[in-house]
């Protein structure tokens, strides 16, 4: 769905269970509207491939075939490769296999026997149970598992939409609070992006100026209970809800990176999270439940 | 992060991963940023394969090859080291290059086909429910308004358009990073309405 007044530079679309807005200031022509529509179609495309909820998605069809190599599309292979790479880099703190997430949510009993199972070799699946063969673009799940590409897929859709609009000097893409910005706004000023204070709905913890960057904030301030939907809230090292951060913000050149690393950093907590972000070459800010703030060494360059 | 040398010996899965992760063991890692940038380029070049109103599930409806090849532009940003950022000298009225949109059979709007009518959906949030009314005319969505707000916060604060709300309330930022439960409720309400509207 796309909505927008004919002459406005902002158009809206709902996909991936998210409201997406694309703003292209300074241009409002039929060609621009069509370009924005093409950008929205990337969200539809990514949803058709990566949806965890639509059983006809390529991802769900893949998950129906454990134990055999399944050749998948370029898109699915790329998103899955990236998610697994982040899992490896973060030692499983970020993990697209839902099996571990169910442990996190306390759904760690074998529903047939009632026995408690831990995530890992003998228990629920982890990212190590997914094997990729790039030569054939095949995915082999070593055991039945459920993949959740959630935020990574949304970030990738943002990046593809941004590429679709790469001829435009000024662009703002907002997909449910994950953003990519380029150029300047309708008044010719820098894009100014606020990050909500996790303890005060109406206040901003910080304001950034971004150009050619994505920003994503992982937050706990609404105290979600639907843990199956928000697997990143679990710390798989403790099998407890991650409580070290109230929010984690990452700024990176692409949204897929910002999304995945905000999730990982959120769970890792202030010290390890900041170190991880520095290691990955991105900037970010973590706020603890007590309101204390930690940030990467070069974050200051983005602060308004 | 742990020293990889301290990990237990490679499992079959680890060996499989090394096939696609040659940089892991060396110092010259591509890095996640490089990996995601490469993914954007390769997937974008393929174009839309799945999004199609009439396509049954599981079938890849490839765009006409000639069309796809002819209209995927050569790399525009050859002078830049990254794929992002403002194009040097790009005018504000830059004409976008043609892409792999098929020339016939689909409109320039969303690929899904909606029946004309008015549809209502409800999205839930822990702050209360949000109802959206979606109007479809000539197969296109013309409006998606919040028609009911059972939330404890005023609906103007919990709409699915945080950037617009903030812009109205304050001149200090264009957008706010971070999703809210309620913005998800709005999107959920519209999604539910559209399920009814799909042909």
Give the C-alpha separation, A132 to B13, whole Å: 9
> Over 90: is that where the pLDDT of B21 sits?
no
Cβ atoms of residues B135 and B142 within 8 Å? yes
Could you tell me which of A102, A85, A88 has the C-alpha nearest to residue A234? A102
Query: Euclidean distance between the first and final Cα of chain A, in Å?
Result: 34
Q: Is A134 on the interface with B (CB under 8 A)?
A: yes
Q: Which of A43-47, A66-70, A128-132, A148-152 has the lowest mean pLDDT?
A: A148-152
Which tokens in the block code for residue A289? 């439940």
**Which pLDDT does position A110 carry in this prediction?**
54
Q: How high is the mean pLDDT of chain A?
A: 86
Beta strand ranges found along chain A (DSSP E): 2-3, 10-15, 18-23, 69-71, 130-133, 138-141, 171-175, 178-182, 191-197, 200-210, 213-219, 234-235, 240-241, 247-252, 283-287, 293-295
Q: Is B138 on the interface with A (CB under 8 A)?
A: no
- CA dist list (Å): A65 to A9, A53, B57: 44, 17, 16
**A90-94, A119-123, A137-141, A280-284: range with lowest mean pLDDT:** A119-123
Coil/strand/helix, residue A283 = strand
Q: Which of A16-30, A209-223, B53-67 has the highest mean pLDDT?
A: A16-30
Q: Name which of B85, B184, B105, B170 is nearest A165 in CA terms.
A: B85
Chain-centre distance for alpha carbon A106: 23
Task: Indicate the pLDDT class of residue A286, thresholds 50, 70 and 90.
Answer: very high
CA angle B97, B95, A12 (to 5 degrees): 90
- Which of A86-95, A128-137, B6-15 is most confident? A128-137
Alpha carbon distance A52, A16 (integer Å): 10
Beta carbons of A128 and B11 less than 8 Å apart: yes
**Six-digit token string for B24:** 């892991």
Largest CA distance in chain A: 63
Question: So what's the pLDDT on residue A154?
Answer: 95
Taking only residues 24 to 53 of chain B, the set having a beta carbon closer than 8 angstroms to any beta carbon of chain A reads 24, 31-33, 35-37, 39-44, 46, 48-51
Confidence band, pLDDT 50/70/90 cuts, at residue B131? confident
Interval A208-250: pLDDT, tens: 999 999 999 988 654 444 443 444 456 666 666 677 899 999 9
What's the pLDDT score for residue B165? 44
pLDDT at B27 over 50: no
Best interface-test mutation with B: which of A8, A25, A41 has the largest number of B CBs within 10 A?
A41
Provide the chain A residues 22-61 that lie in CB contact (below 8 A) with chain B. 26-27, 29, 31-35, 37-38, 40-42, 44-45, 48-49, 56, 58, 61
Give chain B's mean pLDDT: 59
pLDDT score recorded for residue B26: 38
Q: What is the pLDDT of residue B135?
A: 86
Strand partners, A287: A247, A293
Highest-confidence range of A122-131, A180-189, B125-134, by mean pLDDT?
A: A180-189
More confident residue, B184 or A158: A158
- How far apart, in whole angstroms, are the C-alpha atoms of residue B27 and residue A284? 24
Q: Is A88 helix (H, G, I), strand (E, B) or coil?
A: helix
CB contact under 8 A, B172 and A204: yes
Q: Residue B111: its pLDDT value, please?
A: 52
The residue whose two tokens read 């950037």 is B163
Tell me which residue has tokens 């059979």.
B105
Name the residue with higher pLDDT: A28 or B82: A28
- In chain B, the percentage of residues whose pLDDT exceeds 90 is 11
pLDDT bucket at B117, cuts 50 / 70 / 90: very high
Phi/psi-derived region of residue A188, left when phi > 0, alpha when psi is between -120 and 50, beta in every other case: left
Q: Classify residue A192 as exposed, middle or buried by CB count within 10 Å of its CB (0-12, 13-18, 19+).
A: middle
Q: What pLDDT is attached to residue B93?
A: 34
Average pLDDT over residues B151-156: 60
Given A17, A207, A261, which is nearest B173 (Cβ)? A207
* A163, A188, A283: best to mutate for the B interface, most B CBs within 10 A: A163
Instruction: Specify the pLDDT at position B37.
Output: 96
Mean pLDDT computed over A48-67: 91
């Amino acid at each position: 769905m796309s909505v927008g007044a004919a002459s406005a530079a902002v158009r809206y679309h709902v996909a991936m269970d998210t409201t997406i807005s694309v703003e292209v200031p300074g241009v409002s022509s039929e060609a621009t509207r069509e370009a924005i529509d093409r950008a929205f179609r990337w969200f539809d495309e990514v949803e058709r491939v990566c949806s965890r909820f639509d059983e006809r998605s390529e991802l769900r069809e893949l998950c129906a075939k454990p134990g055999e190599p399944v050749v998948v599309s370029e898109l699915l292979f790329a998103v899955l490769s990236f998610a697994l790479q982040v899992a490896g880099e973060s030692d499983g703190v970020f993990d697209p296999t839902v099996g571990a997430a169910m442990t996190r949510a306390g759904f760690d009993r074998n529903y047939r026997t009632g026995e408690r199972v831990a995530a890992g070799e003998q228990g629920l699946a982890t990212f190590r149970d997914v094997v990729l063969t790039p030569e054939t673009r095949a995915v082999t799940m070593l055991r039945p598992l459920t993949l959740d590409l959630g935020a990574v897929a949304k970030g990738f859709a943002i990046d593809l939409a941004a590429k679709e609009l790469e001829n435009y000097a000024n662009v703002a893409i907002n997909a449910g609070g994950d953003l990519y910005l380029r150029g300047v706004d309708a008044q010719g000023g820098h894009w100014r992006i606020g990050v909500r204070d996790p303890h005060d709905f109406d206040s901003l913890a910080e304001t950034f100026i971004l150009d050619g960057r994505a920003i994503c904030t992982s937050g706990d301030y609404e105290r979600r209970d639907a843990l199956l939907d928000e697997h990143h809230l679990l710390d798989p090292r403790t099998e407890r809800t991650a409580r070290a951060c109230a929010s984690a913000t990452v700024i990176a050149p692409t949204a897929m990176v910002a999304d995945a690393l905000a999730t990982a950093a959120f769970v890792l907590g202030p010290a390890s999270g900041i170190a991880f972000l520095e290691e990955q070459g991105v900037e970010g800010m973590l706020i603890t439940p007590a309101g204390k703030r930690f940030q990467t060494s070069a974050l200051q360059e983005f602060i308004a | 992060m742990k020293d990889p040398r301290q990990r237990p010996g490679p499992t079959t899965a680890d060996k499989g991963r090394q096939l696609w992760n040659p940089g892991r063991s060396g110092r010259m890692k591509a890095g996640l940023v490089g990996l995601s940038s490469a993914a954007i380029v390769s997937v974008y070049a393929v174009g839309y394969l799945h999004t199609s109103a009439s396509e049954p599930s599981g079938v890849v409806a490839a765009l006409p090859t000639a069309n796809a090849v002819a209209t995927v532009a050569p790399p525009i940003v050859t002078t830049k080291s990254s794929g992002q950022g403002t194009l040097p000298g790009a005018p504000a009225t830059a004409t976008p290059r043609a892409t792999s949109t098929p020339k016939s059979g689909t409109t320039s709007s969303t690929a899904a086909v909606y029946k004309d009518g008015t549809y209502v959906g409800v999205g839930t949030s822990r702050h209360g429910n949000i109802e959206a009314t979606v109007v479809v005319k000539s197969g296109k969505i013309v409006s998606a308004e919040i028609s009911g707000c059972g939330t404890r916060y005023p609906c103007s604060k919990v709409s699915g358009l945080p950037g617009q709300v903030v812009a109205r309330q304050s001149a200090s930022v264009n957008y706010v990073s971070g999703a809210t439960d309620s913005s998800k409720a709005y999107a959920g309400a519209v999604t539910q309405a559209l399920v009814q509207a799909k042909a």
